[in-house]
Chain A
Amino acid sequence: MAEQAELLPGTLDLLILKAVSLGRLHGYGALLRIEQISQGALLIEQGALYPALFRLVRRGLLKASWGTSENNRRAKFYELTTAGRKRLRQEADGWNRLVNAIASALAAQPEEV
């Protein structure tokens, strides 16, 4: 397992939106999905996931419904709404711009200055 990093503040929402965009998920599933897609590099406090999920539902970015999972447990499943999909695109673009900007700033060589 790669070395784990603390989440930057504000990025949890983005990760959840991304995880859910890949398919309808319940809370624990979302946690696993994030772990999986980040190759286990990101450390998420399990309980902290739920306030974030609730917040996203309240903002209308996710919708939730109760259902039964593959192993027959009742669980609440989350999926993206249209607004959520749009938001994910915006946030991802913003994030990429930020990362690129910071990466190019860090890559700067003395002679380029």
Chain B
Amino acid sequence: MRLLASMRSFASALFRRSHLEDDMEEELRSHIEYRADDLERSGLPRAEAERRARIEFGGHERFKEECREALGTHFLAAFFQDVRYGLRTLRRSPGFTVVAILTLTIGVGVNTSVFSLIYALAIRPLPVKDASSLASVYQESRATSQHPRGIEGAPSYVSYPEYANYRDGNHVFSGLAAYAETTVSLSGTEPEFLHGLLASCNYFDVLGANLATGRSFGPSDCRAGAGSVAVLSNGFWQRRFGGDPSVVGKTLTLDRQVFAVIGITAPEFSGTELQVPDLWVPISMAPQLMPDTFATHDWLALPNVSWLHVVGHLKPGISRRQAQAELNVLAHQMDANSPGAKTTVTVNAGAFLNGPEMRAVGVWFAAGLFALAGLVLLMACVNIANLLLARATARQQEIGVRLALGANRHRLIRQLLTESVLFAIPGGLAGLIVALWLPPVLIHVLPEMPETSLPVNLAPNFPILCYSLLASLAAAVVSSFAPALHTTQPDLLTILKDDGASAGHSRSRTRLRGFFVAAQVSGCTLLLVVASLLARGLHRAQDLNPGFTTRNVFVMSFDLQQKGYDGPRASHFEHQMRDRLASLPGVAGVTSSVVLPCVTGDLSGVTIPGSKAGPGSTLVLANIVSADYFKTMEIPILQGHAFTEQEIETNGPAPAVISRAMARRFWLGEDPIGKQFSASKDQRYRVVGIAPDLENLHLGEVDGPFYYGAMNARNNGAAEAKIFVRTSGSSELLSAVPEIVRQLDPNVMVITESYEQILGKQLTPARTGALLVGILGVLAMLLAIVGVMGVVSYAASQRVREIGIRRALGAQTRDVITLLVRQNARVVAIGLVIGLALAAGSAVLLSAADLLFGVSPLDPLAFLGTTILLAAVAFFSMLIPAWRPARVDPMIALRRE
């Protein structure tokens, strides 16, 4: 009854608000008139009676407000009122509104980007049919000494017999597929390495993949011995064959096995892994395509090797928990066959990163990313709080008057918070726009992401929209809470007496704001210096000259050691290989080298008989190379000569070329040619020539003492050697390489890469780092600009009267600007100095991590450039808000009081 009554009252209050307002107004008025009647009867004139009645009644508005509250209309009605009022206020100060929204956009945008990235990788359903019911099966197997477990990939992967057990025994999945990732080499005129998936025969059916043309695997393809068939991915088909449908039915040679192409997937199917496969082959082909790992055992029969991903669709109405329970039962049945084994199955929702190992690492990575993004949001909050504080000064009087008229403090705070909600919503929506373009950039910064285009869907959806709006609201409320409390401090007397500018706490406020700005400036200085150092390093690395040529040089790596080659056999293979490569047309030089300069390095202990450096061995850098190394790599010989094949063949100490630094180190003031030294493995060398100091160890860093020993059958260099081929420009001749290798030994695998590409890969961490830090730096700079502008306009608004007096006394615009700028320049300068110091510290770390490529950690260009840039930016951000009050008409400024 009471509930009904109050609900009715609330409802009528809500819908007939204006009616109720009139009603209330009339009732109060009638009260006053009754009272006036009484007073009039006691002898007062009517006018006086009405005046007295009103005074006796007390705070009319306050009671009305209390009545509204009593009626229960308050919350929503007040909210709408606040919204209307807030919109009016925001419209009146478009500058503040725009800056607040932009600041939120940046902060929320970065956060939403991180969220949508993590969401896309770890939560969002995979791009397959009925993705919501897709689940992955992982397991934890307790390995014991009786039951050792092999791992190819991750420990949580499944063996084939285990997979077969789950697939055939369960009643919860509509189908379970298994697959393993592998790399296969495609031979032909343009050999290349492909990303292949060894898939169970039901793979395409389970995942509901459509084919563009041809067919997928049939049961006959999966019998042992059968299955030399392949399904190509649409992307690979387009890239390699230009979308030619006649490819179906033709054959491909993969790892020296001939496969018939039977189908092409539809463009929308990209599998369930981050790296889209180029092709799929039946899992029964695993022994042929993974000869290294399958050499001794048939993994398809081994129950204790983790190598397969298992995915499947849950039957309708089956939860992951139920599925997990049933698979665990199956696992325990299997464990019973091998006492002591214990397997625990986990069923995770299908997502790109859902393996237990991935999750464990991913949590930390996500936390780190969120921390970085949170920092940006925090900076944005600080900025908005700053702006609001500045505005609070301007509004102090308005608020003071409202408090004096009996406005309730809670109500005022709520109204100020409503205002921040009003700019939070557009801020959140604009943040979503940032989240449209930032995640595709960010995703490549993540470690171990394939370089190919990713099948990840980064488009915003409802959860991302919610996240964005919530982050924005939280940021707005957090940043406006303290200023709202501050502004509505019931210190009426000071506020009303004065214009509010000097309301008691302004001094501590100024100091706090100064601290914020210094922190912002130092933060963005740090980020920008680091970004420009990294960029300088990259620039330097691009036209860096290590002292040897890498242009048109191709590097061939072999797996001789794995194939059991011993020294003489490897030496023979290496000689044969070099001879055949040298005979190809268009080859400018062929050589062998154990070390891949700038990527790998080798240290060797050297002893010099009777050297001035004293007894004992000294560690120096070393490489073992074949005769044509210096010619092929275009390294000049400064003194003596490069060793020849004949010298290498002769018995006695092997010839060696030493670097100038080594000559200085051991034979200062002597002629090192003809001198001997011994190195590790009891190798004796005789110096035949001196080479310049190069940058073999780290790009951009001149080596210390270095020797090049001649490769011979004794030092066993050939088994580890890579062959470098310098062509005269075209790389076509490389297509002959696999054939040459095959003729020499069909078992040997060869990988051919361009030296420049290899070095380019070395730059990836620096490149992505520079990009990320640069983006954050620019964002931080934008925030700092807003911060500085806020502080200056605050200071200016505080000093309007003073400025007016100064102008009235003849101060020029310039003088006033100088005054305002000088006041804040100190804070900016302090921030700048702190930022530079932090940057110098970080730069030393970067240099130690070889990310600067020889650029000095105190590179003047980066430090000076950033300083000048930030100083200029800070100056202009101070100038703009100082401009308006500085030009103010003294009369207006003074009259404002």
Q: A83–B30 contact, CB under 8 A?
A: no
The answer on a CB contact under 8 Å between B9 and A58 is yes
- Tell me which residues across on chain B come within 8 A of A10, comparing CB atoms: none
**Contact of B27 with A50 in the complex, beta carbons under 8 Å:** yes
In the complex, residue of chain B having the shortest beta-carbon distance to the beta carbon of A60: B5
Is A54 an interface position by the 8 A CB rule? Answer: yes
Given A48-B63, A59-B6, A76-B27, is A28 in contact with B70 using a C-beta cutoff of 8 Å?
no
Query: A71 an interface residue at 8 Å Cβ cutoff?
Result: yes
Among A41-79, those with CB < 8 Å from B are 45-52, 54-55, 57-60, 69, 71, 73-76
B34 touches A28 (CB 8 A): yes
Partner of B30, one of A28, A47, A48: A28
A28 to B4, CA, bound (A): 28
Instruction: For A83, list chain B residues within 8 Å (CB).
Output: 1-2
Q: Chain A: interface secondary structure?
A: helix
CB neighbours (8 Å) of B69 from chain A are: 51
For B30, the closest partner residue in chain A by CB is A75
Q: Which of A9-31 contact B (CB under 8 A)?
A: 26-29, 31
B57 surroundings in chain A (CB, below 8 A):
46-47
- B56 x A46 contact (CB < 8 A): yes
Which B residues are CB-close (under 8 A) to A50? 24, 27-28, 31, 63, 66-67
Taken together as a complex, chains A and B put the C-alpha atoms of A55 and B35 apart, in Å, by 23
Verify A27–B66 contact, CB threshold 8 A: no
Q: Which residues of B contact A69 (CB under 8 A)?
A: 34
Q: Is the CB of B1 within 8 A of A60?
A: yes
Closest-by-CB residue of B relative to A87 is B2
Give CA–CA (A11, B748) in the complex, Å. 100
Q: Is the CB of A75 within 8 A of B34?
A: yes
With A and B bound together, what is the CA distance between A71 and B27 in angstroms?
16
Assembly CA distance A76 to B25 (angstroms): 11
Given A27-B31, A73-B30, A73-B33: A48 in contact with B6 (beta carbons within 8 A): no
In the complex, A75→B26 CA distance in Å? Answer: 8
A82 to chain B, nearest CB (A): 9
Known contacts A28-B35, A75-B34: does B71 contact A54 (CB below 8 Å)? yes
Interface residues of B, dominant DSSP: helix
Min CB gap B70→A, angstroms = 4
B27 and A27 form a contact (CB under 8 A) = yes
Q: In the complex, how many angstroms separate the beta carbon of B5 from the nearest chain A beta carbon? A: 4
Residue from B5, B27, B60 in contact with A58 in the complex, judged by beta carbons closer than 8 Å:
B5
Please tell me if the beta carbons of A47 and B63 are within 8 angstroms of each other in the complex.
yes
Closest to A61 in B: B2
Contacting residues, chain A, for B30 (C-beta < 8 A): 26-28, 73-76
Query: CB-CB < 8 A to A49: which residues of B?
Result: 31
Contacts of B27 in A (CB 8 A): 27, 50, 75-76
Q: Does the CB pair B26–A74 fall under 8 Å?
A: yes
A76 to chain B, nearest CB (A): 5
- In chain B, residues 486-542, which have Cβ atoms closer than 8 Å to a Cβ of chain A? none
Q: Across the interface, which residues of A come within 8 angstroms of B94, CB to CB?
A: none
| Complex contacts, A75 vs chain B, CB 8 Å | 27, 30, 34
Residue contact A60 to B62, C-beta cutoff 8 Å: no
Q: Does B704 contact A (CB under 8 A)?
A: no
CB contacts under 8 Å to A, within B1-60, are: 1-2, 4-6, 9, 23-24, 26-28, 30-31, 33-35, 37, 56-60
Q: Which residue of A lies closest to B6 (CB)?
A: A58
A58 touches B70 (CB 8 A): yes
Let me know if A46 and B72 touch, CB within 8 A: no
- Which residues in A have their C-beta under 8 angstroms from that of B9? 57-58
Q: Shortest distance in angstroms between B76's beta carbon and chain A's nearest beta carbon?
A: 15
B615 to chain A, nearest CB (A): 99
Tell whether, in the assembled complex, residue A60 and residue B60 are in contact, meaning their CB atoms are under 8 Å apart: no
Q: From residue 60 to 80 of chain B, which have CB atoms closer than 8 A to chain A?
A: 60, 62-63, 66-67, 69-72
Closest A residue to B37 by beta carbon equals A71
Contact A48 B58 (CB under 8 A): yes
Residues of B within 8 A of A28 (CB): 30-31, 34-35
Chain B residues whose CB sits within 8 angstroms of the CB of A31 once the complex forms: 31
| Residues of A73-113 whose CB lies within 8 A of B | 73-76, 83
- Which residues on the A side are within 8 Å of B23 (C-beta)? 76
A52 CA to B37 CA in the complex, in Å?
24
The answer to whether B5 touches A59, judged by C-beta atoms less than 8 angstroms apart, is yes
Contacts of A55 in B (CB 8 A): 70
Nearest B residue to A63, CB-CB: B5
CB distance from A71 to the nearest CB of B (A): 7
Assembly CA distance A59 to B72 (angstroms)? 10
Report the minimum CB–CB distance from A35 to chain B (whole Å): 11
Q: Could you say which residues of chain B place their CB within 8 Å of the CB of A76?
A: 23, 26-27, 30
Question: A58 contacts B35, CB within 8 Å?
Answer: no
Per the bound structure, the CA–CA distance linking A45 and B69 in Å amounts to 18
Residues on the A chain within 8 Å of B62, using CB: 47
Distance between A90 CB and nearest chain B CB, rounded to angstroms = 14
Contact present for A45 and B58 (CB under 8 Å): yes
Q: Which residues of A contact B66 (CB under 8 A)?
A: 48, 50-51
Contact with B2, one of A29, A51, A60 (Cβ below 8 angstroms): A60
In whole angstroms, what is the CA distance A49 to B749 when docked? Answer: 97
CB distance from B219 to the nearest CB of A (A): 76
CB distance from B90 to the nearest CB of A (A): 32
Of A27, A54, A71, which is within 8 A of B70 by CB? A54
Partner of B60, one of A47, A48, A51: A47
Output the least CB separation between A59 and chain B (Å): 6
Could you list which residues of chain A lie within 8 angstroms of chain B, going by C-beta atoms? 26-29, 31, 45-52, 54-55, 57-60, 69, 71, 73-76, 83
21 sampled A-B residue pairs with Cβ under 8 A: A26-B31, A46-B31, A47-B60, A47-B62, A48-B58, A48-B63, A49-B31, A50-B24, A50-B31, A50-B63, A51-B66, A51-B67, A57-B9, A58-B9, A58-B70, A58-B71, A58-B72, A59-B6, A69-B34, A73-B34, A75-B27
What 3 A-B pairs are tightest by C-beta distance, nearest first?
A: A60-B5, A47-B63, A51-B66
User: 7 extra interchain contacts, Cβ-Cβ under 8 A, other than A50-B63, A58-B71, A69-B34?
Assistant: A26-B34, A45-B58, A48-B58, A50-B28, A50-B67, A54-B70, A75-B34
